[in-house]
Structure 1
Amino acid sequence: MPPNRVRRALRAFVPAILAGATAALVLSGPAFADPAPSPGDLEAQIQQQWDTLEPTIEQYNAVHGQLTANQAKAASLQDQLQPLQLQVDMAMSNIGTIAANVYKGGRSSTVNALLSSGSPTALADQLTLLDMVARAQHEQISSVASMVDKYAADKATLDALIVQQAKQDADLAARKKKIEDQISQLQRLRLQAYGASGGATGALKPVACPFEYTGGPGGTAAQKACSLIGKPYIWAAAGPNGYDCSGLTMVAWAAAGVKLDHLASAQRAESKRISRADLRPGDLIFFGSDTHHVGIYVGGNWMVHAPNTGDHVRMAQLTGYYAANASGYGRPG
């Protein structure tokens, strides 16, 4: 090849070689990941995922509680049915005996009664008495039979509801494995963000709790909640070893002599509605349009709550996420 043509070929070929080498270096070199997410970003992600999990837990609490209550009602109805049915059976047996005797006696029984009565008037009185006894027995049997039918109908309705609720309960329980897997992922994210302490500041109780000391039932409930700080969050638990959100508030108010259901939405219905400006220690703070989370106010813009699995009962300020997502406030008692 003439020298000029060689030089022209090299001039065209070398840039191509260099470009290829550069590309190879880029492809084979270290891959630089995006900057690690900040703790705030991870906390928001954890909260977002938990918001999708907690309603399922609350739903399970509701269905399981209704199922247990209805099973107890059905058992009670069954206990009431047994003696009533026995009364009907015994009365029907007596009627059967009377009917058999009449059948065996036939028409001669009336003649025998007439001959032995001494007079038609006495016979009429005897027949009238027999008729009254028969009617009284019939009314008694009818009354008891009606009660049996009512209890049986009520039990049949309850049994049908129990079958439906048992299916819902089983379906929700079957989702437990999936929930636990998702919660494990949340815990790993939390550990990445905050380490083993599980909290942004590493403090479950950064200020005095209650922040404001008050008397009365609310003050007692707030003090009880504060005394439980550090207990682990346990799904659907109400102590003594751990608590979920509504289990914590239920136990706190129980210390003040006020009974609340183990369900955030039920506690909302059981409480008097108040405004945020009227909050005082012991009041409840509800979160989400479906009321899937609840905390208890302890004064100074602080609350105590059981956040989620992997965390502990802790204090939290009503700022940021909690301020934006509070959907209502209530005062039990």
Structure 2
Amino acid sequence: MNRRHFAAAAITLVCALTVLTAPAQAFAAPPPPSPTTTATTQKKSLEEVREEIDALYLKAGAATDAYNLADEQATKQSGELAELARAIVEGQAKIADLKNRAGAQAREQYRTGGLPPGAQLMLSDNPQMFMAGMNRVWQSQQAAKGVLGELTRAQADLETYTKDASANWKKLEANRVKQAKAKKKINAQIDAAKKLESQLEKKEQERLLELEQEAASKAQSAWLSSGALKEINRAASASGKKAVAFATQQIGKPYVWGAEGPGSYDCSGLTSQAWAAAGRPIPRTSQEQWRQLPHIAIQDMRPGDLIIYHSDASHVGMYIGDGAIVHAPRPGRDVTLAGAGSMQILGVVRPDR
């Protein structure tokens, strides 16, 4: 492939990188129930709806983490492909230059009858000219070897760059497929949850929110009653204070899956941006935060630490002290404060350990 064709191919590669992310059944009317039975049935029905909605948002949260991870990997691979494309173009230019130098040496030999000037001097009867000729022949041989050796290395590098670019392109496309599948799954779960809520009367929706808050309060009370907070009294680190300050400043901004601010966040988008603002970049997703960051015991927790929730590590909040967290809960909710024990705790990680 000549330089012009290769440059065109490389430009095409770089440009490609920028193109990137049942009907209801009728029943006979039952006998009128007593007021007590009506209230109990209604409460149970709403509780079931709440649990179903929660389950849908949990699944959406897990899919959001999968989307975010695929997005992070795709961004990384796009950057690597751009670097490889530049390296390929530079490699082609270097090879062309080396070929020109090798060609110049060959042309010089042709003009001198196949013998370089140094070799001609070696044939002289003059001892000084003979020695000078030997030196020039040696230098010419070393120069030729150097050009050929550098050309061989440049060609090998170029072949490696090309193979790496092909492998990274396949990975990029695979991650884009993962993103698309995760996005479809997220939207399906959120739409199903919204549909359930929309089928309720306004008073039922208000009661649904109360049930959600009651469930969180009950879980937090149980956590506090266990004595978990008694030993949690450590002060935040300097960077932890900065992370907490950033996160709490986002209170009131809406949850949007896949968002990293500044106007909206998902749960790990909030925590990753808070720690980035504190000068400590951390993984983008809650699952990667759980996998990569140092784990600490709950009793050793301090403000700024991240609490990972649910068995699949699909949610994360930042501990701010006094048994509370700041987090982005789910679609339809805003960044807010909540009890640290209001959800199922998987564990705690510390970004600045």
TM over 0.5: yes
What do the CA deviations read for 1:99-132 (whole angstroms, capped 9, x no partner)? 245346546889x936984537634642541342
Amino acid at match of 2:305: D
Residues matched between the structures, number: 296
What do the CA deviations read for 1:164-222 (whole angstroms, capped 9, x no partner)? 332331342244234213202213434646449956349x9xxxxxxx99653323323
Q: Which segment is superposed worse, 218-227 or 244-253?
A: 218-227
RMSD after superposition: 3.6
Task: Name the residue aligned to 1:301.
Answer: 323
Q: 1:220 aligns with which of 239, 242, 249?
A: 242
Q: 1:280 aligns with which of 266, 277, 302?
A: 302
Q: 1:53 aligns with which of 46, 57, 60?
A: 60
Task: Name the residue aligned to 1:30.
Answer: 29
Task: Name the residue aligned to 1:328.
Answer: 347
Amino acid at match of 2:245: Q
Task: Name the residue aligned to 1:230.
Answer: 252
Partner of 1:332, secondary structure, is: coil
- Residues 260 and 266, structure 2, Cα contact 8 Å, conserved in 1: yes
Partners of 2:269 and 2:307 in 1: how far apart? Answer: 14
Partner of 2:349, secondary structure, is: strand
Partners of 2:265 and 2:80 in 1: how far apart? Answer: 28
- Residues 218 and 281, structure 1, Cα contact 8 Å, conserved in 2: yes
Task: Name the residue aligned to 2:290.
Answer: 268
Q: 2:166 aligns with which of 159, 162, 165?
A: 159
What do the CA deviations read for 1:49-92 (whole angstroms, capped 9, x no partner)? 22222222212211221222122122223323433432332222
- Residues 67 and 162, structure 1, Cα contact 8 Å, conserved in 2: no
Amino acid at match of 1:328: G
User: Cα 1:109–1:234, aligned 2, differ >3 Å: closer, same or farther?
Assistant: closer
Gaps of 5+ in 2: 1-25, 217-232
- Residues 66 and 182, structure 2, Cα contact 8 Å, conserved in 1: no
Task: Name the residue aligned to 2:191.
Answer: 184
Partners of 2:151 and 2:114 in 1: how far apart? Answer: 32
Partner of 1:231, secondary structure, is: coil
Shift of 1:230: 2.0
Shift of 1:296: 1.0
Greater gyration radius = 1
Partner of 1:329, secondary structure, is: strand
The sequence identity of aligned pairs, in percent, is 26
Q: Which segment is superposed worse, 294-303 or 89-98?
A: 89-98
Task: Give the 5 Å matches for 1:232-251.
Answer: 232-251=254-273
- Residues 70 and 158, structure 1, Cα contact 8 Å, conserved in 2: no
Partners of 2:174 and 2:162 in 1: how far apart? Answer: 18
Partners of 1:28 and 1:43 in 2: how far apart? Answer: 25
Alignment TM-score, normalising by the size of structure 1: 0.74
